[in-house]
Amino acid sequence: MAVTEHPGGETARQGSGFWPSVWNAPASRWGFAAILLLIPAAAGDFWLLQVYGWTFALGIVALSLQFLGGYGGMVSLAQMTIAGFAGYMVAIFGTSSVEHISLGWPWWLNIPAAIFLAVIFGTITGALAVRTEGIYTIMITLAIAAAFFFFVNQDYVLFNGFSGFNSVLPPTLFGVDWREPTAYYYMTLFFAVLAYGVVLYVSRSPFGLALQGVRDNPRRMAALGFNVTAHRIAAYAFASVIAAVGGLLLVWSNAQVSPGTQSIDWVINILIIAVVGGMSRPIGPFIGAFIFVLLENWSETALAWVGLSPERFKLVIGLGFLAIVLWSRDGVLGIWESWRARSRRDPLTGRAPGDDA
């Protein structure tokens, strides 16, 4: 599989409009949405902040990778870097404990500026990355991510070096402290649903369909008169917006941003999240993020239970990732799809319903 021929390769369904598909969603989806809304009534603060909040925030960053990888066939490792960049910008333009650098702009100026600059950064990264294809893209974006990490680690003029910025707080809108667990939960949920919906919408728009055409056969699309490079760069720009929003949420959850926010480990973690969840549909990254956060929080307990030191957390993550990649072509989504296909098949004829051939 060249990267351009993505395994999931699922082209977004055409025919039905976007909104009808939302209103006519099956009852199970509506039930799931109701559960998501009611979770704060039952869950404790730890779950709201460390589990669900992180799942949504990490999921949004991984969603930007899913969009690029799943619909555009470009696996970029710079998405966490763009997220971290947005976090840095919000700390520099807004308020933080590092008063000699932070400019203290109001939130309505600060947040758009941060997202705007992150999009510019992401677009430049994309413009460099699209000069190459497939595996080169991974290596070049990895190198850009590493460069940014090393740079912010060394630079004390703008990025405050190793220690980064503390007390980077979300604005107190509508008199609510958005770092309070329930508020943070709803804020991340809102943005996760928004990002999910926007990605779904864009994937069915003419631009999204053209992008999927570029993924599957760039030469044919070029012959049809589409500007392949422009579509790819535009995909990077769009993914940067999503990554930047995810980055802001991540930074607000810890109230700090430092080089560690986008270290090589975290850059790889975002890839792991997207791949483990599945890259063919935008729900994948959120599934991956949920699994990752659960593992991160409870692997120590589980490891102690089998008699291993809690430091072996990475081993668990690595082995789990390896198992998923080796056995499934599309992460958890792929396993789910193949299980459904198998259970739907008629045991006598071996045919799936609706399979006319």
Partner 1 sequence: MKRFIERRPVWSLVILIAAAFFLWLVFAIWPDSFEDFLKEDVGGWIGGDFGKQFGRALSRKKVFLSALLDGVTLAALYFLIAAGFTLIFGLMRNVNLAHGSLYLFGGYVGYEFAEWTGYWLLAFPAAFVVSAALGVLLQVLVFRRMEGEDLRQTLVTIGISIVLADVMLWIWGGDFYQILAPSWLSAPVETFLASAQKSSGEIVYLKYSSIRLVILVAAIVLGVAMWLALNRTRVGMLIRAGVDDRDMLSATGIPIQVVFVCVFAFGAGLAGIGGVVGGTFQSLAPGEDTEYLLSSLIVVIVGGMGSIPGAALGALLIGLADTLGAAYFATYAVVFKFLIMVAVLAFRPRGLLGRS
Binding residues vs partner 1 (CB under 8 A): 1-3, 75, 128, 131-132, 134-136, 138-140, 142-144, 146-147, 150-151, 153-155, 264, 268, 271, 275, 311-312, 314-315, 317-319, 321-322, 325-326, 329
Least Cβ distance, residue 86 to partner 1 (angstroms): 20
Q: Which of 224, 270, 336 is nearest to 69 (CA)?
A: 270
Cβ proximity to partner 1, 245 vs 317, nearer residue: 317
Long-range pairs for 137-143: beta carbons < 8 A, 24 or more residues apart: 137/3, 137/74, 137/75, 137/76, 138/3, 138/75, 138/76, 138/77, 141/75, 141/76, 141/77, 141/78, 142/77, 142/78, 142/264, 142/267
In angstroms, what is the minimal distance from the CB of 56 to partner 1? 24
- Side chain identity, residue 194: L
- The CB-of-55 to partner 1 minimum distance in angstroms stands at 21
3-class state of residue 10 by DSSP: coil
Cβ-contact 158, 103 below 8 angstroms: no
Alpha helices per DSSP H over 255-283: 264-277
Residue number, 109 or 315, with CB nearest to partner 1: 315
- Rounding to the nearest 10 degrees, give the CA dihedral for residues 205, 207, 209, 212: -140
In the complex, least distance from residue 34 CB atom to partner 1, rounded to whole angstroms: 36
Q: In whole angstroms, how close is the CB of 318 to partner 1 at the nearest point?
A: 3
Report in angstroms how near the CB of residue 93 gets to partner 1 at its nearest.
23
Nearest to partner 1 of 6, 204 (CB atom): 6
Q: What's the CA gap between 129 and 139, in Å, rounded?
A: 9
Query: For residues 95 and 262, which CB has a smaller minimum distance to partner 1 in the complex?
Result: 262
Question: For the purposes of burial, counting CB atoms within 10 Å of the CB of 219, is it exposed (0-12), middle (13-18) or buried (19 or more)?
Answer: exposed
Give 48 or 65: the residue with its C-beta nearer to partner 1: 65
* Cα separation, 37 vs 189, whole angstroms: 9
Residue among 107 and 313 whose Cβ is closer to partner 1: 313
Q: Answer yes or no: are the C-beta atoms of 247 and 84 closer than 8 Å.
A: yes
Closer CB to partner 1, 255 or 303, in the complex = 303
**What is the closest distance, in whole angstroms, from the C-beta atom of residue 149 to partner 1 in the complex?**
9
